[in-house]
């Protein structure tokens, strides 16, 4: 059953076995796992319930509908980084690119050593990855769905001898509409909205949308209930009603920014809450070709280059809507118009880099998360090298000009100019950086002094309070994270089910 905020016109008190806050990558997954395991589940989602009928190609309409802060949340630092996250049923999985990779072994090894997560071996995680991949239909893309841009990218990588992989994506018969980030218009992308959420509802879970959980009520060091405020999405105003969910177990899965604030609101004093924030800083470049490419025809991202992954650099192409791409071009007025006339001749490629520095998420005076993160010399060098590598790839593919994400060096016109990227001593605050992957703010670990949850995702400070979102992931991964988040959420769900007598008895 789905109840939307607009229809709530009184205070409500619900009772259930498990209250899950957030319906995205982590929340949707664990809600289905628990409901299918026979538990009575209530899901609270701050965003609205939208389906493919509501999705559109108009970013001005669809992005504010599906994303927090209209897709432009800010992480403060040098440079300020734009962060995008979903705020709707299905969370960020509704607007994500659909790439699916398991946690790399070297990352798991780091977690075993650094965080004492000795159980997180590829062998022990195998059944969780398999289950997730089956549930969200992770599969290679059919060749017919790849566009010309993707093929150029692949040919250039082959010419350079770089290791390139076809992407594994959560999709069924995807025909390559290329607009995953506005919500899949054909329901071919198997987001949480159309996989785990229907599974949970089918087993009796009750989903409340347009309700923002504020805090967990705690008694005798044990979670008792969740208090939420009701929103009227049409007017955008808070309604004067409260939803209280009395639950035997509470799972917070609001994402790496929102969950720490809920923990702070609940009076949890653990020093690790909101700290150890990691992300994958991204840069993008734009190549201009003589011939038209129509790079927006074809799947969002058919391939990834993993040749430099040991250096913490992943390269890929991606479809960016013209309206969004123009915002980042340095040209104005007539120059901007002339550039956009070349739209069909462009190819956009980007890189995500592994980070080593950390930031922090605090609670602002107005009650919302405020994140700080300063790019350090390691990320700076990686972003510069990634931009140079992407430029080499573009020129090898036949580009005549390449636009760069640097305020002081905006364009290069040939491979001989790539060395300018290294020589220009670009500083972090001259870079245009964004991210869509956040981690670590409720990290799991074996040492209560260094983590927020134990290795099963249960709070060290409050019993029967679990966390199952990207915040528990202790570090950046170097690859796209949704499979890691879903596998860990599945594992936490199974742990609760296997210990029913302790948690629900």
Ligand X SMILES: Cc1cc2nc3c(=O)[nH]c(=O)nc-3n(C[C@H](O)[C@H](O)[C@H](O)COP(=O)(O)OP(=O)(O)OC[C@H]3O[C@@H](n4cnc5c(N)ncnc54)[C@H](O)[C@@H]3O)c2cc1C
Contact residues toward ligand X (CB under 6 A) are 21-27, 44-47, 84-88, 91-93, 95-99, 181, 212-213, 253-255, 258, 262, 436-437, 469-470, 480-482, 485
What single DSSP character describes residue 156? Answer: H
Nearest-angstrom CA–CA distance, 409 and 318: 22
* Phi, psi of 150, rounded to the nearest 5 degrees: -65, -40
Computed on alpha carbons and rounded to an integer, the radius of gyration of the chain in Å comes to: 22
List residues bridging with 466 in a β-sheet: 251, 458
Residue with Cβ nearer ligand X (25 or 176): 25
Least distance to ligand X from the beta carbon of 395, Å?
26
Our CB check for ligand X shows the closer of 338 and 368 to be: 368
Task: Decide: 299 and 250 in contact? Cβ < 8 Å.
Answer: no
In the bound state with ligand X, the residue whose beta carbon lies nearer, of 22 and 302, is 22
- Residue 361 CA, chain-centre distance (Å), reads 16
Of 84 and 358, CB closest to ligand X? 84
Looking at residue 110, what DSSP letter applies?
H
What residues does 453 pair with on adjacent strands?
444, 459
CB of 340 to ligand X, least distance (A): 22
Nearest residue to ligand X on Cβ basis: 24
Q: How far apart, in whole angstroms, are the C-alpha atoms of residue 417 and residue 419?
A: 5
* Distance from C-alpha of 122 to C-alpha of 325, rounded to nearest angstrom: 38
- By beta-carbon proximity to ligand X, the closer residue of 26 and 418 is 26
> Considering the complex, what minimum distance in angstroms separates the CB of residue 31 from ligand X?
11
Minimum CB separation of residue 301 from ligand X in Å reads: 7
Give the shortest CB-163-to-ligand X separation in angstroms: 19
Distance CA 196, CA 463 (A): 26
Which residues make Cβ contacts (< 8 Å) with residue 62, sequence separation at least 6?
Answer: 54, 55, 56, 182, 183
Taking the least distance from each CB to ligand X, the nearer of 86 and 405 is: 86
Q: How far is the CB of 390 from ligand X (least distance, A)?
A: 18
Q: How far is the CB of 332 from ligand X (least distance, A)?
A: 26
Smallest separation (angstroms) from ligand X to the CB of 118: 24
| Nearer to ligand X (CB atom), residue 391 or residue 451 | 451
* Angle separating helix axes 148-160 and 377-397, nearest 10 degrees: 100
Q: Largest Cα–Cα distance in the chain?
A: 70
Residues 6+ apart with CB under 8 A from 326: 336, 339, 340
In the complex with ligand X, the residue whose CB is nearer, 21 or 394, is: 21
Work out the number of other CB atoms within 10 angstroms of the CB of residue 365: 6
């Amino acid at each position: 059953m789905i109840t939307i905020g607009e229809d709530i016109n009184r205070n409500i008190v619900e009772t259930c076995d498990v209250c899950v806050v957030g319906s995205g990558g982590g929340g949707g997954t664990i809600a289905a796992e628990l409901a299918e395991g026979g538990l009575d589940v209530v899901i609270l989602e701050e965003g609205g319930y939208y389906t493919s009928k509501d999705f559109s190609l108009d970013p001005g309409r669809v992005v504010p509908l599906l994303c927090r802060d209209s897709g432009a949340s800010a992480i403060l630092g040098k440079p300020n980084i734009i962060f995008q996250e979903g705020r709707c049923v299905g969370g960020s999985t509704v607007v994500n690119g659909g790439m699916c990779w398991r946690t790399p072994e070297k990352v798991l090894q780091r977690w075993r050593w650094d965080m004492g997560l000795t159980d997180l071996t590829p062998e022990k995680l195998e059944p969780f990855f398999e289950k997730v991949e089956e549930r969200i239909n992770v599969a290679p893309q059919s060749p017919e769905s790849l566009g010309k841009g993707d093929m150029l990218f692949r040919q250039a990588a082959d010419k350079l001898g770089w290791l390139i992989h076809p992407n594994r994506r959560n999709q069924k018969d995807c025909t390559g509409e290329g607009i995953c980030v506005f919500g899949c218009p054909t329901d071919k992308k198997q987001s949480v909205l159309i996989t785990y959420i229907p599974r949970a509802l089918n087993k009796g879970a009750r989903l409340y949308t347009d309700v923002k959980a504020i805090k967990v009520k705690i008694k005798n060091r044990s979670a008792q209930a969740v208090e939420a405020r009701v929103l009227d999405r049409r007017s955008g105003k808070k309604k004067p009603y409260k939803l209280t969910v009395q639950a035997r177990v509470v799972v917070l899965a609001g994402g790496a920014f929102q969950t720490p604030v809920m923990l702070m609101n609940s009076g949890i004093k653990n020093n690790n809450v909101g700290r150890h924030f990691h992300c994958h800083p991204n840069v993008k470049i734009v190549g201009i070709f003589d011939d038209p490419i129509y790079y927006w025809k074809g799947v969002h991202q058919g391939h990834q280059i993993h040749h430099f992954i040991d250096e913490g650099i992943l390269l890929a192409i991606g479809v960016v809507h013209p309206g969004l791409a123009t915002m980042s071009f340095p040209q104005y007025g007539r120059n901007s118009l002339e550039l956009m006339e070349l739209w069909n001749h462009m190819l956009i490629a980007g890189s995500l880099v592994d980070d080593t520095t950390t930031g922090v998420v605090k609670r602002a005076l107005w009650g919302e998360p405020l994140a700080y993160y300063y790019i350090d010399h390691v990320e700076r060098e990686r972003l510069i090298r990634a931009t140079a590598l992407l430029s080499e790839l573009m020129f090898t593919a036949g580009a005549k000009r390449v636009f760069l994400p640097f305020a002081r060096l905006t364009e290069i016109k040939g491979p001989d100019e790539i060395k300018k990227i290294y020589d220009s001593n670009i500083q972090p605050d001259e870079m245009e950086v964004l991210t869509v992957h956040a981690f670590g703010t409720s990290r799991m670990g074996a040492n209560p002094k260094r983590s927020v949850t134990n290795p099963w995702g249960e709070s060290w400070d409050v019993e029967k309070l679990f966390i199952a979102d990207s915040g528990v992931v202790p570090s950046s991964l170097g690859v796209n994270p949704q499979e890691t988040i879903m596998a860990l959420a599945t594992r936490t769900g199974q742990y609760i089910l296997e210990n029913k007598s302790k948690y629900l008895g």
